[in-house]
Amino acid sequence: MAKRFKPQIATGNDLLDGDVVYFTQGLKWSRFIGDAWIATNEEAAEVLQKEASKFPNDIVGVYLTDVAIDDEGRARPDHFREDFRMRGPSNRPEHGRPVERA
Amino acid sequence: MAVIITEDGIAADDWADKTVYPFDVFWSGQELPEEALAVEFPNDRKPEDLVPWLDRIEMIRVEFPSFADGRGFSLARRLRTLGYKGRLRAAGPVVSDQHRAAVRVGFDEIELPESVAARQPAEHWVIRKQGSYQQRLAS
Amino acid sequence: MYEYTDFDEAFVRERVAEFRGQVERRLDGSLTEDEFKPLRLMNGLYLQLHAYMLRIAVPYGTLNGRQMRQFAYIADRWDRGYGHFTTRQNIQFNWPKLQDVPDMLEALADVQMHAMQTSGNCIRNVTADHFSGAATDEIADPRPTAELLRQWSTDHPEFTWLGRKFKIAVTGSEHDRAVIKAHDIGLRLVQDDDGNPGYEVLVGGGLGRTPMLGKVVREFLPKEHLLPYVEAILQVYNLIGRRDNKYKARIKILVHETGIDEIRRLVESTFQENLARFNGVNQEVFDRIEASFAAPEFEPVYDVTPAVDAGLRSWIDTNVADHREPHYAIVTISLKGIGETPGDATSDQMRIMAALAEEFAHDELRISHEQNVILPHVPRRHLAEIYRRLKDAGLATANIGLVSDIIACPGMDYCALATARSIPVAQKISETFADIDRQRDIGPLKIKISGCINACGHHHVGHIGILGLDRAGVENYQITLGGDGTETASIGERAGPGFAYDEIVPAVERLIEAYLDHRSEDTETFLEVYRRMGPAPFKAALYPEAEARSNAA
Ligand code: SF4
């Protein structure tokens, strides 16, 4: 049996301010992980990687990462590193990032 | 085709039609050519190995496999320290910001792959006129 | 202190202009990220987890009030009102925007500072003893040497694209406060039998994945040969150091694999050849450097009749060290407030420290690799007033050298390379041992925490070292014991299996209890007990179940 595919999203950092961004189905970048385009199989992940790499002068350090899916079908961090990227530094909550759209 | 960058600007490669011999030509048993002799210098070889022939060589082409691999800068300095007076060429995808350092360690020119040259127009290669700490400390 | 010459000034301004151009070329796409990255790194600009980070050099940790104020200004104007002092005597700002960085660099140049070579595979900011010029055990001030090396290594055409970063530290004292054995090159100012000045040169130290202590490559190097000799070391390293594996690219691996004797032979022969081209240093330039580090004009001796309350007394005991002038003192300002982020200071705190230096302490400050700020020249009669003002600013924690004076790297709260957090571990340990009387009873203890194998938190040389790792997607902390970063340097030994995030602080508590149980008298330190008894009693405390099992067997 084939290994079960873990859902993936594309993420990177904004060239101008370095903030964490996620690639959306609208082929744009969002600051919210909930907006991320989720690839659910190998082929979709390849397309995602290809499309997300088309912004070399706007977004840097683009990579695919595994995610969990919440009840509403949105992506959630699957690893603590991605959780910190999403939330901002844990030692200074006042500098945290908004996780949800206000 | 590669382009050649010197302090005077960008030019075509005047050595393009001539042979550049492999580094090992001196040990291969093959007879050394009469013509002006140019040799490849892979950046993991020792400058000392060329000492007996330094007078005979007209050009040494030091390879830069990537701009981040700075061995070539020390090689150039060592070759000059050992007395090499001929033409010294840095060959590879260096970036314009390295031109000044290349000149300062003794390179005469840079041989740049066309694809890299396309993104870095001539004005990027102009060297800032600026003194260096090393000169200042030594003089 | 060193004042920029016209040359320095022009050089730094030119570099700012150059970087401004590079940022523009990045923004318009003529530089790719791959090409831009090493250029921004060379100007101290990283891309971290959540934002860019600008690392600014405080050369050999020395700065004046105006420079410290400028940090406060930069923090308020372009960042988020605070800065982080690092284990390499630098300061980092965690939230700059790419377009603003050239302006930040310009603001630094206004006060004779820069961010050059604080990153990248080049010769990094040269560090030195933070008590330089003030210590009682000093043979000679290491800062002229450090400044000379700073100038020589700046924009060096050969050594800006090395296989890996390269760190140099200098000390001029018997007691090594600069951890020189953990540097690529460590220099100790010494004299030969005839009293001529020179250096003992160590090479191949470093922490990281494969920690090693530096080895002596030259027992005595005459002072005037410093640059050609260091140049020879760098040449040998640049040409034959490994480049096939990032973790094997530091000079410590070359020294280890090649052997110190062969390295010595190669360096000496290169050095001899270099001498013909470059046999020393322009004396005029060097004389000016030396002169600029002359001691301040100390005030005359007076009678000290200070009124001391208990708080001041305890702060003086821990945070104030003797100065070579008996009526002076060296004050260490702790950036390790209980529960705070080690090494962080707000812009207000920076301004207060600047004011204290200007008003009372010959306008000099130092940054220590232990992430504290130092007033190196304080007339003792001002101690009470300084303490009072520090207290108002939340900067009077009396814990220097104690359990809560923890070194911690940024870890996964900021650093893109991190495998686990370090700051919250430090915060929790410090809260657990908040009671200063308890800390004083425990005595001298160095806890050092790194958030990944790169070891920026120097965990290998902590009496207790903590290394944060990612074990199967969960933070896990490994303990090393018995490390020491001073003249009696040693690399800590791994105690055993790691601990989960919520187990690590209790584990440290057990270690400390074990120490208290086993010390023969109150003055025997943690490290002394470890050296006397070895790891067994500490392992037993860390892993009580294993202990119980083996007793049952
Ligand atoms: S030790 Fe690792 S986590 Fe800590 S600052 Fe260095 S690279 Fe980052």
B43-73 pLDDT, tens digit per residue, is 999 999 999 889 989 999 999 999 999 999 9
Torsion sign (Cα): B74, B75, B79, B82? positive
Pairing of strands C365-367, C62-63: antiparallel
Check C473 against A79: CB less than 8 A apart.
Answer: yes
**Residue pair C127/C184 in contact by the 8 Å Cβ criterion:** no
**Chain B residues with CB inside 8 Å of C276's CB?**
81
A9 contact partners, CB below 8 Å, separation of at least 6? A22, A23, A33, A36, A37, A38, A39, A48, A64, A65, A67, A75
Q: Which residue has the tokens 């007996």?
A: B52
pLDDT at C277: 76
H-run or E-run covering C373? strand C373-379
**Chain B residues with CB inside 8 Å of C288's CB?**
none
Where exactly are the structural domains of chain C? 6-109, 134-291, 318-392, 407-552
In tens, the pLDDT along C424-462 reads: 999 999 999 999 999 999 999 999 999 999 999 999 999
Number of neighbours of residue B30 by Cβ within 10 angstroms: 11
C380 contact partners, CB below 8 Å, separation of at least 6? C304, C306, C327, C328, C329
Check B101 against C157: CB less than 8 A apart.
Answer: yes
The answer on pLDDT for B85 being more than 60 is yes
Fold of C6-109: Sulfite Reductase Hemoprotein; domain 2 (3.90.480)
Chain C residues within 8 Å of chain B (Cβ atoms): 7, 10-11, 14, 18, 22, 25, 30-32, 35, 38-39, 121, 148, 151-152, 154-162, 227, 235, 238-239, 243, 273-274, 276-278, 281-282, 285
Instruction: Confirm whether A9 is domain-assigned.
Output: yes
Pairing of strands C90-93, C464-471: unpaired
Of C241, C236, C266, nearest to C252 (Cα)? C241
Does any CB of chain C come closer than 8 Å to the CB of residue B138? yes
The answer on pLDDT for C115 being more than 60 is yes
pLDDT at C131: 97
Percent of all residues in chain C with a pLDDT value above 70, rounded to a whole number:
99
CA distance C355 to C345: 15
CATH architecture of C134-291: 2-Layer Sandwich (3.30)
What's the domain range around A47?
1-53
- Say if C134-291 and C407-552 have the same CATH topology: yes
Residue of C49, C98, C414 with shortest CB distance to A15: C98
Instruction: Confirm whether A85 is domain-assigned.
Output: no
Q: C393: helix, coil or strand?
A: coil
**Residue pair B32/B26 in contact by the 8 Å Cβ criterion:** yes
C192 contact partners, CB below 8 Å, separation of at least 6? C198, C220, C222
> Which domains are delineated in chain B?
2-129 (3.40.50)
The answer on pLDDT for A96 being more than 90 is no
C415 Cα to the center of ligand 1, angstroms? 6
Distance, CA of A67 to chain centre: 8
CA distance C270 to C292: 32
Ligand 1 atom nearest residue C455's Cα: 1
The answer on pLDDT for A80 being more than 70 is yes
Q: Which residue of A has its CA nearest to C342?
A: A91
CA distance C289 to A40: 64
**Residue pair A90/C421 in contact by the 8 Å Cβ criterion:** yes
Check A17 against C51: CB less than 8 A apart.
Answer: yes
**Chain A residues with CB inside 8 Å of C46's CB?**
none
Instruction: Confirm whether A95 is domain-assigned.
Output: no
Name the domain count of chain A: 1
pLDDT at C303: 73
CA distance C117 to C90: 11
CA distance C227 to C298: 33
Chains B and C form CB pairs within 8 A to the count of 96
CATH architecture of C407-552: 2-Layer Sandwich (3.30)
H-run or E-run covering B88? strand B87-91
Of C234, C203, C459, nearest to B134 (Cα)? C234
Ligand 1 atom nearest residue C452's Cα: 2
Percent of all residues in chain C with a pLDDT value above 90, rounded to a whole number:
90
**Chain A residues with CB inside 8 Å of C418's CB?**
81
**Chain A residues with CB inside 8 Å of C97's CB?**
16-18
Q: Which residue of C has its CA nearest to B76?
A: C158
Check C273 against B82: CB less than 8 A apart.
Answer: yes
Per-residue CA distances from A84 to A34, A44, A73, C85, C339 (Å): 15, 26, 21, 22, 20
pLDDT at B35: 78
Per-residue CA distances from A8 to A35, A48, A49, C402, C498 (Å): 13, 9, 10, 46, 30
DSSP classification of residue C482: S
CA distance C239 to B75: 7
Q: Spell out which residues line ligand 1, taking CB within 6 angstroms.
A: C 409-411, 415, 417-418, 450-452, 454-457
**Chain C residues with CB inside 8 Å of A20's CB?**
49-50
Q: Mean of the pLDDT values across residues C294-302?
A: 92
Does any CB of chain C come closer than 8 Å to the CB of residue B67? yes
Average per-residue pLDDT for chain C = 95
Check C18 against B75: CB less than 8 A apart.
Answer: no
Instruction: Confirm whether A101 is domain-assigned.
Output: no
ipTM above 0.90, yes or no: yes
Q: Which of A59, A91, A97 to mutate to test the interface with C (most CBs of C within 10 A)?
A: A91
Under the banding of pLDDT at 50, 70 and 90, the label for residue C330 is: very high
Of B116, B62, B67, B104, nearest to B87 (Cα)? B62
Under the banding of pLDDT at 50, 70 and 90, the label for residue B33 is: confident
pLDDT at C278: 74
Mutation test of ligand 1: which of C407, C409, C469 has the most ligand atoms closer than 8 Å to its C-beta?
Answer: C409
Q: Which residue of B has its CA nearest to C157?
A: B101
pLDDT at C479: 98
In tens, the pLDDT along C486-519 reads: 989 999 999 999 999 999 999 999 999 999 999 9
pTM equals 0.93
Chain A residues within 8 Å of chain C (Cβ atoms): 13, 15-20, 56-57, 60-61, 79-81, 84-85, 88-92, 95, 97
Q: Chains contacting B with at least 3 CB pairs below 8 Å?
A: C
DSSP classification of residue B62: E
CA distance C67 to C364: 10
**Residue pair C413/A84 in contact by the 8 Å Cβ criterion:** yes
Under the banding of pLDDT at 50, 70 and 90, the label for residue C194 is: very high
Assign residue C362 a region: left if phi > 0, alpha if psi is -120 to 50, beta otherwise?
left
Instruction: Describe the crossing of helices C143-153 and C283-292 by its angle, rounded to 10 degrees.
Output: 130
Mutation test of ligand 1: which of C415, C459, C477, C478 has the most ligand atoms closer than 8 Å to its C-beta?
Answer: C415
pLDDT at C217: 98
More confident residue, C494 or C281: C494
Under the banding of pLDDT at 50, 70 and 90, the label for residue C170 is: very high
pLDDT at C553: 60
Per-residue CA distances from A5 to A34, B113, C7 (Å): 20, 41, 60
Contact B/C (≥3 CB pairs under 8 Å): yes
The answer on pLDDT for A2 being more than 60 is no
CATH code for residues C318-392: 3.30.70.3340
Half-sphere exposure of B135 (CA within 13 A, CB side): 8
| A27-31, B128-132, C373-377, range with the lowest pLDDT | B128-132
C421 contact partners, CB below 8 Å, separation of at least 6? A84, A90, C411, C412, C413, C451, C468, C475, C501
Instruction: Confirm whether A27 is domain-assigned.
Output: yes
Per-residue CA distances from C182 to C366, C386, C481, C487 (Å): 21, 34, 17, 11
Check B101 against C227: CB less than 8 A apart.
Answer: no
